[in-house]
Amino acid sequence: MPSRVASARSLVLPLALAQFVASYAGTNMNVAISTIADDIGTTVVGMQTTITLFTLTMAALMIPGSKLTDIWGRKTCFLAGLVVYGCGALIAAFAQGLGLMIVGYSLLEGIGSALMIPPIYILITVTFTDTGLRAKYFGVVSGAAGLGAAAGPLIGGLVTSAISWRASFGLQVLIVATIIVMALRISDPARTGAAPRFDMLGAVLSALGLFFVVLGILQSSTYGWFASRTDFTIGDTVVIPKGGVSPVWLFVAVGAVILLWFYLHLRSRERKGEDPLIATRLFRNRTSNRGLATQLIQWLIMQGSFFVISVFVQQVRGYNAIQTGLILSPAIVGILASSAAAGRLARRRTQTWLIRAGFVTTTLGMALFMALVRENSGIWTFIPGLLLIGAGVGVMLTSSVNVVQSAFPERDQGDISGLSRSVSNLGSSLGVALAGSIIAAASIPGGRPFALSFTIMLVFSLIGLGIAFLLPNRQAAEPRETVS
């Protein structure tokens, strides 16, 4: 038994650390935008563009990256992602201008994340067949994801204030190097059949489609969701004047058309007997589709709520980056506590029950937060609501991933892992964009725009709860490979 425990830890620890680093990279930059811009001779807009490009790169390449796990092998793909990510962090740490920052942070860290994240979930799924054990280790990884996203502003603020923003990237390099050493001990069974051929056209179409959808969502904070707040220009030409239909829908429509082309391309390759980038049967599994919907909403409400709270305490209460991170610490505690209990909970309750309970807990936390927190209320008013939100999110993230990944046999794990991570990235982008656009559009001073944004997050939590009730009460037995 001790050797089995040690073996599990040697597998899960590097995976969890890698997920933490990737999630941390998505949020820690926000607290140092002005500092970095001044240091490398660019503008705040330039740095915001850099962060946006990181999100776009990671989201666009997640499905092609997951397919490479079937071609290169899970361990090889994981290590390759770590190396690319580490090189990107090293370049960013020494960047003297915006160009190198984009190459290091936006492109290489984005590509590295797209390569290393899918194998994390695949390796846990295929290694642990027991539902309780799988839930336990998904809890560890999901907790690391939530911790990285929530603690990114705090850690980034502390490191930037105490040393330098460059030290934050240097810290990532050291952690990645440590993970690479640890990951060399990971055991990944050798492929038994021939490796599939890489669908290059499918990869380009999926990347472009997701790129435009996510780009459109991110543009909502500038142009709004309905009537454009300002002229949308290409070069010197005004394409959509102020007051016209928001260009957000132009980007989303272009992305949707490309994704439709992508789906038709997949069907065409399957009819010809060729390997598609992702099997179309994945889109016909009702349990998985509903699990993916809950996953999207979970990341939407988590990132959206954290964004609203962070901006509220900085703009209305005048908190700095470190104080903002500390305010969010009850949510971090809640995420860690519920993620740590995931294995025990999975042995007592079904994954569907836990998803529903997570949404109920999160919704209650949001309602409590809105009831207690005011512009001048005490610090203690933040704690009960954030603790419940964190606990609910921690339960949901683990259970939804388990439901989705367990709905397919091992041969589909590469495909579903990439699709699952793409949905999570889409939810994160939508949450921040939706909350940010509401705050930017509101002209009422004080905390009312934040209350409206938080109310929208609460509504989405209720929608997620409704979808969770459409999931089967009991998870069907995990599909097995058929032997011909």
Taking the domain 2-186+277-468, which CATH number applies? 1.20.1250.20
pLDDT digits (tens, 9 = 90+) for 388-446: 998 998 888 888 888 888 888 878 888 888 888 888 888 887 887 777 777 766 544 55
- What percent of the chain has pLDDT above 90? 33
Long-range contacts of 461-467 (CB under 8 A, 24+ apart): 461/297, 461/301, 461/359, 461/362, 461/363, 461/366, 462/359, 462/363, 463/297, 464/293, 464/294, 464/297, 464/298, 464/301, 464/359, 464/396, 465/356, 465/359, 465/360, 465/363, 467/290, 467/293, 467/294, 467/297
Averaged over 74-93, what is the pLDDT?
A: 95
Confidence of residue 87 (pLDDT cuts 50, 70, 90): very high
The β-bridge relationship of strands 237-240 and 232-234 is: antiparallel
pLDDT of residue 24: 87
pLDDT of residue 441: 63
- Which range, of 4-8, 56-60, 361-365, averages the lowest pLDDT? 4-8
Averaged over 315-338, what is the pLDDT?
A: 81
Q: Are 109 and 24 in contact (CB under 8 A)?
A: no
Strands (E), 199-312: 232-234, 237-240
Greater pLDDT, 34 or 210? 210
The pair phi, psi for residue 73, each rounded to 5°, is 105, 150
Helices 33-40/44-72 angle, 10° precision: 100
Mean pLDDT across the chain: 84
Confidence of residue 474 (pLDDT cuts 50, 70, 90): low
Q: Are 134 and 51 in contact (CB under 8 A)?
A: no
Counting runs of H as helices and runs of E as strands, what totals does the chain give? 19, 2
- The C-alpha angle 265, 425, 397, rounded to 5 degrees, equals 115
Q: What is the DSSP string of 12-48?
A: HHHHHHHHHHHHHHHHGGGGGHHHHHHHHT--HHHHH
pLDDT of residue 268: 94
Averaged over 73-80, what is the pLDDT?
A: 92
List the chain domain ranges: 2-186+277-468, 199-276
Nearest to 84 by CA among 48, 122, 111: 111
The pair phi, psi for residue 240, each rounded to 5°, is -130, 115
Q: What is the DSSP string of 102-163?
A: IIIIIIIIHHHHHHHHHHHHHHHHHH--SHHHHHHHHHHHHHHHHHHHHHHHHHHHHHHHHT
Q: Are 18 and 78 in contact (CB under 8 A)?
A: yes
For residue 478, what are its two tokens? 């995990």
Greater pLDDT, 31 or 164? 164
Confidence of residue 100 (pLDDT cuts 50, 70, 90): very high
Averaged over 338-365, what is the pLDDT?
A: 88
Averaged over 69-84, what is the pLDDT?
A: 92
pLDDT of residue 191: 66
For residue 324, what are its two tokens? 């903002």
pLDDT digits (tens, 9 = 90+) for 240-294: 888 888 888 999 999 999 999 999 999 999 999 888 988 888 888 999 999 999 9
477 pLDDT higher than 60? no
218 pLDDT higher than 70? yes
